[in-house]
Amino acid sequence: MNNKLKIGIIVGSTREGRISPQVASWVHEHAKKRTDALFEIVDVKSYKLPLLGESNDQSGVNAWNEKLSTLDGFIFVAGEYNHSLTASLKNALDSARDAWNNKAAGIVSYGSVGGARAAEHLRGILGELQVADVRTHVALSMFTDFEDWKIFKPQNLHLSNLNTMLDQLIKWSTALKTIRS
Ligand SMILES: Cc1cc2nc3c(=O)[nH]c(=O)nc-3n(C[C@H](O)[C@H](O)[C@H](O)COP(=O)(O)O)c2cc1C
């Protein structure tokens, strides 16, 4: 049995033409070079989550909760919509409770000002879900890290931030695992 920490890279936007998968792939490509945890991309779009409470079909919500339950920590790939996080990510956060609790998270955001406003709103929500969000945050600019706001071409400087964020995330995920039964 593999006892390594499992970290999910949560793809938080679901619209047609979204750029989030490019950002998630970049995070995954670098994270999986590490040997202290296993990383996987977890795409909110695949779960076809209904807006909370609007459907009797709970299959997507159940599958979402089952997936989150297997994870020890999260990296949220969060684009900024109207100075906040995407509705799809908020709905995905609302669609689980216990499966989030007592775990750690890091944030990779993007937008005209690095997705900073989305990231800060996300931090407030994570507090309520008992997810411990680490300080270091990768903030990608639509102007300098994307070509034509579509093709992801990150500047090298983000790599050191990503690695620091991962160091912090692994430490806190390891610590929090000890208090989950
Ligand atoms: C509804 C909507 C609102 C947006 N509002 C903002 C915003 O407030 N600030 C910002 O920096 N970018 C904003 N954008 C631009 C998005 O950050 C950009 O389109 C990005 O590609 C969205 O992520 P996605 O492609 O993964 O969906 C907005 C985009 C949409 C679709």
Measuring from atom 4 of ligand 1, which residue has the nearest CA?
81
How many angstroms does the Cα of residue 8 sit away from the middle of ligand 1?
23
CA torsion through residues 127, 130, 131, 134, sign: positive
Distance 129 CA to ligand 1 centre (A): 25
Residue 102 — pLDDT band, cuts 50, 70, 90? very high
107 in Cβ contact with 122 (< 8 Å): yes
**Ligand 1 and 82: CB distance under 6 A:** yes
Non-local CB neighbours of 79 within 8 Å, separated by 6+ positions: 12, 13, 18, 19, 20, 85, 86, 109, 110, 111, 115, 118
Q: What is the pLDDT of residues 122-160, one digit of tens each?
A: 999 999 999 999 999 999 999 999 999 999 999 999 999
Other CB atoms within 10 Å distance of the CB of residue 79: 23
- 171 CB near ligand 1 (under 6 Å): no
